[in-house]
Amino acid sequence: MYSSAEENYIKAIFTISEKTGKGASTTAIAQRLETKASSVTDMVKKLNEKALADHRPYHGVSLTDQGRQIATAIIRKHRLWETFLVNHLNYRWDEVHDLAEQLEHIHSPDLIDRLDRFMGHPKFDPHGDPIPDRDGKMVDVAGAQPLSEVPKGVLVHIVGVRDSSPAFLKLLDGLGLKLGTQLTVDRKFEYDNSLEVSSRMRNGLLLNESVCEKLTVKIL
Amino acid sequence: MYSSAEENYIKAIFTISEKTGKGASTTAIAQRLETKASSVTDMVKKLNEKALADHRPYHGVSLTDQGRQIATAIIRKHRLWETFLVNHLNYRWDEVHDLAEQLEHIHSPDLIDRLDRFMGHPKFDPHGDPIPDRDGKMVDVAGAQPLSEVPKGVLVHIVGVRDSSPAFLKLLDGLGLKLGTQLTVDRKFEYDNSLEVSSRMRNGLLLNESVCEKLTVKIL
DNA sequence: TCACATTTTTAGACTTGACTAAACATTTGA
DNA sequence: TCAAATGTTTAGTCAAGTCTAAAAATGTGA
């Protein structure tokens, strides 16, 4: 059984490694968990002793197989809880992240499997992220790419968001964008890499670079 | 926001006070929380400073209005989660206590109200205990009494259990007793205060004193 | 190559919540 | 009424997790 603190570090290392393809630096971990690098040093030492992580100083922390297994289990819990909150308790997709961060630390041999069964084994969470199965495997979303890389004139639909912060999700709500929304890139502005897109609901929607990078789409 | 430790103490003080009608002694609190009296002293001091509890040494700890309000909120959470686990995730009534002890510490402005609405505002949990509403009010179970006090020949039905431990609940399951089961006391044995009862399913069921005290029944 | 900016670790302290052992206080029964 | 039993508190310690400040180590650009 691991503490919430340990679990949060494991998840952070996993997520940073996923994103960068390299080990997670102590500084990066500290930043993500809003803590200090010295605290990270201590915890990484502890995870190392428990054979959950390896640390090559100045080259990053990586998870062992066991660490990775714990990480995917936590992510599975997080995403299933988010799905439950949105699909059954009528939460909006921008409200569930923090609550799921609490719920993901509930320890139970089978609660999450029952929740999974109750919901009919959903494959994606409300933000389009794949939900790992009991063995940590998740469907791979082949062909998905950031909107920022889509050429002009191609019809795509939104399959995921790379940022689950309330602010970002509310912005999307305000623009009428959600999972499944079909889009075409009409114009690209080199000046700031912003895009003008059109959907069924709206034309001439101007999206800045950072928004486009965080929207994952698939060609239809 | 209160820590899980603080919440557990508040709940223990509330429950002991309910049961005994007096303040909760530090020893009683220690026993219930499986901790030591000296630890209780420390925490009670802290709760006192936060205006959640009053302590008159040798006469018990009692909760302030604010403390009581927190206590009923936690009990509401505990019982609603138990109800959810049994009614929607198919847990048995003897499996949910420990899990609900974790879930009751989830902090959220409205999760529990949504859960309440989702389930259609249940009035009782799987053990027959009344679920407090948002204001801490719960229906009072008038006319309920322990089976041990029921006279011979009177038809009653089980409305609650005063012990939610897996061992006790499994015993009841094994005897074919559950909420709603109709019983008549056939014989009373003065020797050890055990009772012989009969239900529709079984006759000549011998229940010892401690079991009879923990079964709450109502005359039909 | 080598200085410096960056990253990482160490050392010492703090908070929360718990513990043991011992001292202290009160109730109660004889 | 007073001593024993019971209940409570104090004092000192510990572990987890965090922090600041300072020291140490490393990668990299000039």
SS (H, E, C) A161-188: ECCCCHHHHHHHHHHCCCCCCEEEEEEE
Chain A residue at shortest CA distance from B103: A106
Radius of gyration of chain A (CA): 19
- Please give, rounded to a whole number of angstroms, the shortest distance from the CA of B7 to a CA of chain A: 16
Whether the CB-CB separation of A36 and A26 falls below 8 Å is answered with no
pLDDT band at B182, cuts 50/70/90? very high
The residue-averaged pLDDT of B138-164 equals 93
B40: three-class secondary structure by DSSP = helix
Q: Which ranges in chain B belong to alpha helices (H)?
A: 4-20, 26-32, 37-49, 65-89, 97-103, 111-118, 166-175, 209-214
Q: Note the pLDDT of residue A189.
A: 94
DSSP bridge partners of B185: B197
CA dist., res. A31 & res. A104, Å (int):
21
What CA–CA distance (Å, rounded) separates B187 from B197? 7
Low-confidence residues in chain A, pLDDT < 50: none
**Is the distance between the Cβ of B45 and the closest atom of strand C smaller than 7 Å?**
no
Q: What is the pLDDT of residues B14-60, one digit of tens each?
A: 999 999 999 999 999 999 999 999 999 999 999 999 999 999 999 99
pLDDT, residue A140, reads 84
Q: Which nucleotide's C1' sits nearest to the alpha carbon of A38? A: C9
- pTM summary value: 0.92
DSSP letter (8 states) at residue A149: G
Q: How far apart are CA B53 and CA B143, in angstroms?
A: 31
Res B165: pLDDT: 92
Would you give the distance in Å from CA B183 to the centre of its chain?
Answer: 22
Smallest Cα distance from B176 to chain A, Å: 26
Residue B106 pLDDT > 90: yes
B89 interaction partners in chain A (CB closer than 8 Å): 111, 114-115, 118
Using the CA of A28, give the nucleotide whose C1' is nearest: C7
pLDDT > 90? residue B141? no
B46 touches strand C (CB under 7 A): yes
- What does the longest C-alpha to C-alpha distance in chain A come to? 56
Check A102 against B103: CB less than 8 A apart: no
CB–CB contact A99 B90 (8 Å): no
Q: Give per-residue pLDDT as tens, A103-116.
A: 999 999 999 999 99
Q: Mean pLDDT in chain B?
A: 96
Quote the percentage of chain B above a pLDDT of 70.
100
The four Cα atoms A107, A109, A115, A121 give a dihedral, to 10 degrees, of 120
Residue B210: band (very low, low, confident or very high) from pLDDT cuts 50, 70, 90: very high
B87 touches chain A (CB under 8 A): no
Residues near A53 by beta carbon (within 8 Å), at least 6 away in sequence: A10, A13, A44, A47, A61, A62, A63, A64, A67
Nucleotide minimizing C1' to CA distance for residue A6 = D17
Contacts of B196-205 with C-beta under 8 Å, sequence gap 24+, read B197/B147, B201/B176, B202/B175, B202/B176, B205/B175
Counting residues of chain B whose pLDDT is more than 90, the rounded percentage is 92
State both tokens at B124: 């009782």
User: CA–C1' distance B41–C22 (Å)?
Assistant: 16
Please state, for a pLDDT cut of 90, what percent of chain A lies above it: 93
**Does strand C come within 7 Å of the CB of B5?**
yes
For strands B215-219 and A60-63, give the pairing: unpaired
Q: How distant is the Cα of A71 from the closest Cα of chain B, in angstroms?
A: 21
Cβ of residue B59 lies below 7 Å from strand C = yes
Torsional sign, CA B72, B11, A101, A68: negative
pLDDT digits (tens, 9 = 90+) for B73-93: 999 999 999 999 999 999 999
Contact B15, B32 (CB under 8 A): yes
Listed residue (B138, B81, B72, B90) closest to B114, CA to CA: B81
pLDDT reported for residue B102? 98
pLDDT tops 90 at residue B140: no
Compute the average pLDDT of residues B179-200: 94
Cβ contact, residue pair A108, B102, below 8 Å: yes
Interface size A-B, in CB pairs within 8 Å, comes to: 31
pLDDT of residue A141: 82
Contact, A17 CB vs strand C, < 7 Å: no
Instruction: Say whether the CB atom of A187 is under 7 angstroms from strand D.
Output: no
Bases of chain C below 7 A from a protein C-beta are 7-12, 16-22, 25-27
